[in-house]
Amino acid sequence: MKKKYSLPEWQVTDESVFQQRRDVVKALVVAGLLPASVLQAKGTLKDELTPEAAVTSYNNFYEFGYGKNDPAKNARDFKTHPWQVRVSGLCEKSGVFDLDDLLKGLAVEERIYRFRCVEAWSMVIPWLGVPLAALLKRFRPLSSARFVRFTTLYDPKQMPGQRRRVLDWPYVEGLRMDEAMHPLSFMATGLYGKPLPPQNGAPLRLVVPWKYGFKNIKSIVRIHFQEDMPMNTWRKMAPDEYGFYANVNPQVDHPRWSQASERIIGTGFSLFGNRRDTEMFNGYAEQVAGLYRGMNLRKFF
């Protein structure tokens, strides 16, 4: 199931094996038998899978509350089946589709991707899903479609966070078409080999691993192809802090904090700090830098 865009095998170790190995290393460090630096050496603590319990309990999903632990509690009864997606705009096959029909015939893949929130924390998550390009091609976008816009469900009855106008609901995100069609762009339907938990954006959630987490819009009910750049929710909220592109970039700080490094979630107690340097395009520069050739990434943050 591993695809070439997943992190290479040697960088990702099974959660339990990794935990054991790290415990041994830590014990040796504490005992003075190994230098502390080994705990931060490249390829050791770096790309371990984030424990499933952390992926599914430390969430941002404001529709279900604003605390990291709220979505897992408040989304427990969220109804994600049946689920319909409305497709509109500059494409040949618009309409309202049942999600089951939309996914029929598309091969489900596993992708292990780094995930970097704009708040400077990160995870490594094994997703299940389909390449975004494969899904979008079904609607035959016209060549005049330069952007695609995604919209989250609006349902204040089920989503208590929407009863307050903390954000301009419903949540909206967008991609340039060439970004959307890039082989790394992914539409997730599961994680850790199981269907997506509601708090992670069931039943359909965008995953664009070289961009900040807020681009990864959850519980999508609408896909719209258009000529002009869509306004995305966080940019509308605070245009000086959140852009349209939102490419992970350690050289362009958030106005209120540095983006040079990130806190690794779920690694538990660490003597030497569970941080790592943030990488350009979240480590995917080789694959995606070409999309932005000639663009000033300070201006288009």
Ligand X SMILES: Nc1nc2c(c(=O)[nH]1)N[C@H]1C(S)=C(S)[C@@H](COP(=O)(O)O)O[C@H]1N2
Residues that bind ligand X (CB under 6 A): 59-63, 117, 152, 171, 200-201, 213-214, 216-219
To the nearest whole angstrom, how small is the minimum distance from the Cβ of residue 92 to ligand X? 28
Q: Which of the ranges 7-15, 121-129, 206-214, 264-272 carries the binding residues for Mo ion, by CB under 5 A?
A: 206-214
Residue 243's binding partner among Mo ion, ligand X, none (Cβ under 5 to 8 angstroms by kind) is none
Q: Which is nearer to ligand X, 69 or 144 (CB)?
A: 69
- Closest-by-Cβ residue to ligand X is 213
Please report, for residues 1, 124, 278, the alpha-carbon distance to residue 128 in angstroms, rounded to integers and kept in the order given.
10, 13, 25
Of 213, 243, 266, 283, the one binding Mo ion (CB under 5 A) is 213
Q: Which is nearer to Mo ion, 18 or 214 (CB)?
A: 214
CA nearest to 62, candidates 166, 172, 210: 166
Q: Are 33 and 40 in contact (CB under 8 A)?
A: no
* Cα angle 266, 121, 8; round to 5: 70
Q: How far apart are CA 227 and CA 142, in angstroms?
A: 10
User: How many of the chain's residues bind Mo ion (CB under 5 A)?
Assistant: 4
Q: 206: part of which helix (H) or strand (E)? A: strand 205-207
Q: Which of the ranges 102-110, 135-143, 211-219, 222-230 carries the binding residues for Mo ion, by CB under 5 A?
A: 211-219
117 in contact with Mo ion (CB under 5 A): yes
Question: Residues 6 or more apart from 30 whose CB is under 8 A from it?
Answer: 271
Q: What is the largest CA-CA distance in the chain?
A: 66
89 in contact with Mo ion (CB under 5 A): no
Task: Name the residues that contact Mo ion, by CB under 5 A.
Answer: 60, 117, 213-214
